[in-house]
């Protein structure tokens, strides 16, 4: 279907306004545009924004992944959130490869020291379960949580590394 110049210009301006606020994935931009414009016009505008490098999903994935790690999120929660934003699995996997399990274990230890230290009593099974459940809700893998908690229990980590931040 063909659209008037005015309709195309309005859709492009709206897209530029949305992208000026913050970065978006193709899906996010499309979802916002579809509220006011026909689907094929939205697709055309999204592709135009990509051609002009105003949408760069690779950089956006990288930025979000790093941001979510800084928020103390685990791998599965990060993956879920990036998928929800419509980012391709290939880009998500590419980011996951840059971080190994040890990075997430270090983050768990940091969180336990910072946030759960006063709630964690290794002699109380329920206490350990509560902290484990809280970390699992943040998206950390159970095996990583177990390993990190055993390191905390044994004192097998460098405390200086976690308090320099």
Mean pLDDT per block of 10 residues along the chain (165 residues) reads: 88 98 98 97 97 96 95 96 97 94 92 88 92 96 95 77 48
Report the domain count for the chain. Answer: 3
- For residue 36, the enclosing domain spans 5-51
State pTM to two decimals.
0.83
Q: Are residues 108 and 148 in the same domain?
A: yes
Q: Are residues 41 and 62 in the same domain?
A: no
Q: Tell which of 98, 120, 154 closes a domain.
A: 98
Q: Are residues 93 and 113 in the same domain?
A: no
Q: Are residues 61 and 43 in the same domain?
A: no
29 vs 128: CA distance, rounded Å: 42
Query: Any idea what the CATH number is for the domain that residue 12 is in?
Result: 1.10.10
Q: What is the DSSP letter of 112?
A: I
Q: Are residues 107 and 93 in the same domain?
A: no
The predicted pLDDT at position 3 comes to 83
The predicted pLDDT at position 67 comes to 95
Q: Are residues 86 and 108 in the same domain?
A: no
38 vs 45: CA distance, rounded Å: 11
The predicted pLDDT at position 155 comes to 83
Q: Are residues 89 and 114 in the same domain?
A: no
142 vs 74: CA distance, rounded Å: 10
Q: How far is CA 7 from CA 49, 62, 74, in A?
A: 16, 34, 43
Q: Are residues 87 and 106 in the same domain?
A: no
The predicted pLDDT at position 78 comes to 97
The predicted pLDDT at position 165 comes to 46
The predicted pLDDT at position 159 comes to 59
Q: Are residues 120 and 93 in the same domain?
A: no
Q: Are residues 106 and 155 in the same domain?
A: yes
Q: Are residues 33 and 45 in the same domain?
A: yes
Q: Are residues 62 and 41 in the same domain?
A: no
User: How many CA atoms lie less than 13 Å away from 117 in the CB half-sphere?
Assistant: 10
């Amino acid at each position: 279907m063909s659209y008037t110049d005015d309709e195309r210009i309005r859709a492009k301006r709206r897209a530029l306004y949305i992208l000026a606020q913050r970065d978006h994935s193709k899906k996010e931009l499309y979802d916002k545009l579809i509220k006011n414009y026909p689907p094929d016009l939205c697709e055309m505008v999204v592709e135009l924004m990509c051609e002009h490098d105003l949408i760069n999903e690779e950089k956006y994935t990288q930025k979000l992944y790093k941001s979510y790690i800084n928020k103390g999120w685990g791998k599965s929660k990060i993956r879920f959130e990036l998928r929800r934003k419509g980012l391709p699995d290939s880009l998500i996997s590419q980011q996951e490869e840059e971080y190994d399990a040890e990075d997430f274990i270090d983050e768990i230890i940091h969180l336990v020291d910072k946030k759960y230290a006063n709630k964690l009593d290794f002699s109380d099974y329920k206490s350990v379960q509560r902290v484990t459940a809280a970390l699992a809700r943040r998206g950390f893998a159970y095996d990583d949580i177990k390993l990190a908690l055993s390191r905390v229990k044994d004192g097998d980590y460098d405390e200086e590394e976690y308090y320099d931040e």
